A = this chain, B = another copy of it.
Amino acid sequence: MQNDNILLAQLNPIVADIEYNYNKALEFLERAKKDNINLVVYPELFLLGYPPIDIIERYPLIVEENIKYLEKFAQQCSNIAVLIGFCEFNNLNKGKKYFNSVAYIKNCKIEKIMRKSLLPVYSEFSEGRYFESAPFDSQNRIIEFNNQKVGVVICEENWNDDTFFKKPMYQFDPVKILVEEQKPDFIINLSASPTRAKKEQLLNNMLSHCAKKYSTPILYVNQTGSTDCITFCGTSRVYDKNGELIARAKSFEEDYFVVTPYKSKINRIEPLPKGVEKTLNSQKEFTLDYDWDMERSYLTITNAIKDYFNKNGFKRAVLGLSGGLDSSCCAYLLACALGAQNVVGVSMPSKITSTQSKNDAKELAQNLGINFFEIPIKDMTDASKRTFDNVFEQIQEKWGEFRYSAPLTFDNIQARSRAMILWGISNEFSSTIPIATSDKSELYMGYATINGDMSGGFAPICDITKTKLFALARWMNKNAPIKNAIPEAVLLKPPGAELAINPKTGKPLLAEEALMPYEFLDEVIWRLENLQQTAQQMLKERFLYEKRHSITLEQKKAWLEKFAKRVQFAQFKWSIMPPGPIVDARSVVRAEYIQPITSKLKF
C-alpha cells in the first residue's frame, strides 16, 4: 500500500566502524518495513560515519569496507527505497581519492549514486582534503516517490543561497539549479551538521527561506552523537512549501522520525532545547544572560562526554576537585554523563588551599554522589621543591642572569603534582581517564598549567567562558538530573587557582587580579570571535562591561594590550590541549582552529 510516509533515520554512527553503522541502519530498516514505510533516509556519509577526517586518506581499507556493506545493505531493501550516505572511490582519471556520495537503493538495487558538489573546507570541516567536488547534475538528483518528483541535496549544497547569505561561499547554488531545471515536488537534504551556539537560528531561517522561496517542501535529516570535539544535535525537520516548520525530531538523541512533506497527523514537532527557540529572532550581541543557551550547552557537553567515553571504550573519569568553579562544573557534567559511580573526584590540598575550598570540594562530591578522596600533596611538592632547589642552584651558576625571581615555578609544581596523581590513577585502574578542567576564558589567557590542570584525556569545558560557566552552574543546580550539587559558596567566591599568594593582599591570588575582570575578558573574546573586531575598534565601542562599571580609556587599553600579549603566548598551549566539545559559535578547539604557533598575531 502506498502512502506519503518517509522515515528520517536520525542515528548516531561511529566513524569507521562500518559494521556498527550497518547494523544501526538495518535496525531502522526492518522496523520501517513493518510500518509500511516506502522510503528511508539516512544522514550524509552514514555508513562511514562523519567526520572521517584524514583516516580514509591513510586507511583506504575502511572505504572498501563501507562499499562492501553498502552492497550488503542493498540486498536487505526488498520492497523499500532508501537514500543513504557513503564514501565512494573516485575512479575517474582526475581529482581527489573519494566522493562524498548518496546511494539511492530500490528493491535491492543501487539505482543511482549522487555525488556531493559543494564541499565545506573551514572551521571543523575538511572535506576538500580527500573528497572531490562533483559537477552538479540536477537530473541525477531526482528520484521518484509515489509519482512525485523528489530532489536530493547533500548538506552544504543547501547553504549557498545568495538571497539569504550576503556573501555565498561557493560559485553556484545547487538548490536553485535543481528547482529551476527539475521542478521537484519536494526536496530531501541528507546532512551531518554540527551544533553550535545560535546555529539553530541560522539553519531554521535558511531552510525555511529556501522552502518558501521555491514553494517546495524540504525534508532535512541530520545525524546525532559526537566525534571528539564535534557534536551533532539531530533535530531533523520538515518545512512545508510556505516555509513553515511542520515536523521536528528530538534533539541530541536518536529518533525514528516518520514524516510527510505535507501537514499531516504523523508529523510531530518536538521541542528544541529550552531557550534556543528564543534565539530564533535574537540579535547578534554579547550578553551575560545565557539562559537561551544553557540546555543546549549542557546537552552538547554531556553527549560529547558520553560518546567520547563509550565510542573509545573508556568507562571512568578521574579529576581534581579544588572547590572552585571549573572543577565543580566538570564533575557535575561527568556525573550526569557517565553516572556518579564512574567518577572519582580527588581533593589535593596544598598549604595554600583554604579549609573552605576543601569543604566545598567534599560537599560537591557528596551532593553528586561521586567517589571522593582527599590526598594532600605536601609530601610530593616538598620532595620536588627539595630537588628543584638543588637543580636551580646549579643552573644559576651558568645562567644566573636569566633566572626569574617570581614564584611561578613552585605554583606550577602544585598543579603538576596533582596531574601526576590523576594520571597515576588512570594508569592503575582500567579504562579510566583524567579530565582537563580548563575553561575558555583561561585558555585565551594561557592561564593554565601545562602537565597540570590543562592535562587530561578530555576537556569538557574548554569552549565555555567563565561568565557562561557561572550561568551553567546555576542552571545545572536547578535543571540537571542531580539537583543543587554545586554549593552556593562555590558560586559566590571569586575564581582563583589557589596556587600563589598575592603579595599585596597576603591572600591567595585571585584570577581577576592576575588577568582582568572576567566580564570584560569574555566580552573581548566574544567580539573577537563573533565580530572579528580589532583592538582599535574595541577601544571605540562601548562595552556591555562599561555600562555596568566605570573604567578609564587607559585601563581599557591596558587590558586589551594584555589580552593581545597573552593570546599570542597561549597559542602553544592550545596546540597541546586534549580534545573537548565545541559549544560556542567560534572556538579555539583543535578541530576548528589550526593555529600557527610561529607567527605574529595582531588584532
B-side contacts of A430, CB under 8 Å = 402-404
Whether the Cβ atoms of B55 and A601 lie closer than 8 Å is yes
B-side contacts of A169, CB under 8 Å = 94-96
Whether the Cβ atoms of B387 and A377 lie closer than 8 Å is yes
Is A130 part of the contact surface with B, judged by Cβ < 8 Å? Answer: yes
B-side contacts of A595, CB under 8 Å = 53-55
Is A373 part of the contact surface with B, judged by Cβ < 8 Å? Answer: yes
Is A416 part of the contact surface with B, judged by Cβ < 8 Å? Answer: yes
Whether the Cβ atoms of B375 and A379 lie closer than 8 Å is no
Is A484 part of the contact surface with B, judged by Cβ < 8 Å? Answer: no
Q: List residues 297-316 of chain A with CB under 8 A from any CB of chain B.
A: 307-308, 311-312, 315-316
Partner pick for A395 among B95, B344, B391, CB 8 A cutoff? B344
Complex-state Cα separation, A597 to B409, whole angstroms: 33
CB distance from A49 to the nearest CB of B (A): 7
Chain A positions 41 through 61: 1 when the CB is less than 8 Å from some CB of chain B, otherwise 0? 000000001011111011111
Complex-state Cα separation, A307 to B596, whole angstroms: 13
Chain A positions 579 through 599: 1 when the CB is less than 8 Å from some CB of chain B, otherwise 0? 100000000001001111111
Closest to A312 in B: B598
B-side contacts of A129, CB under 8 Å = 121-122, 594
Q: In the assembly, how many copies of this chain are there? A: 2
Q: List residues 527-541 of chain A with CB under 8 A from any CB of chain B.
A: 528, 532, 534
Complex-state Cα separation, A599 to B420, whole angstroms: 28
Complex-state Cα separation, A450 to B426, whole angstroms: 11
**Which size bracket describes the interface of A in this complex?**
35 or more
Whether the Cβ atoms of B423 and A416 lie closer than 8 Å is yes
Q: List residues 41-85 of chain A with CB under 8 A from any CB of chain B.
A: 49, 51-55, 57-62, 65
Do most interface residues of chain A lie in helix, strand or loop, or is the interface mixed?
A: mixed
Is A11 part of the contact surface with B, judged by Cβ < 8 Å? Answer: no
Is A228 part of the contact surface with B, judged by Cβ < 8 Å? Answer: yes
B-side contacts of A398, CB under 8 Å = 344, 371
Whether the Cβ atoms of A15 and B599 lie closer than 8 Å is yes
Whether the Cβ atoms of B599 and A14 lie closer than 8 Å is yes
Whether the Cβ atoms of B55 and A228 lie closer than 8 Å is no
CB distance from A302 to the nearest CB of B (A): 16
Whether the Cβ atoms of B428 and A403 lie closer than 8 Å is yes
Complex-state Cα separation, A379 to B130, whole angstroms: 52
B-side contacts of A528, CB under 8 Å = 58
B-side contacts of A307, CB under 8 Å = 598
Q: List 19 interface pairs A-B (beta carbons < 8 Å), by A numbering.
A: A17-B599, A53-B594, A53-B596, A57-B122, A62-B600, A62-B601, A94-B171, A122-B130, A128-B128, A308-B598, A316-B399, A375-B387, A379-B383, A380-B380, A388-B428, A391-B425, A403-B428, A403-B430, A416-B420
6 additional A-B pairs beyond A60-B532, A312-B598, A403-B428, beta carbons within 8 Å, are A15-B596, A93-B167, A96-B169, A228-B597, A450-B455, A572-B578
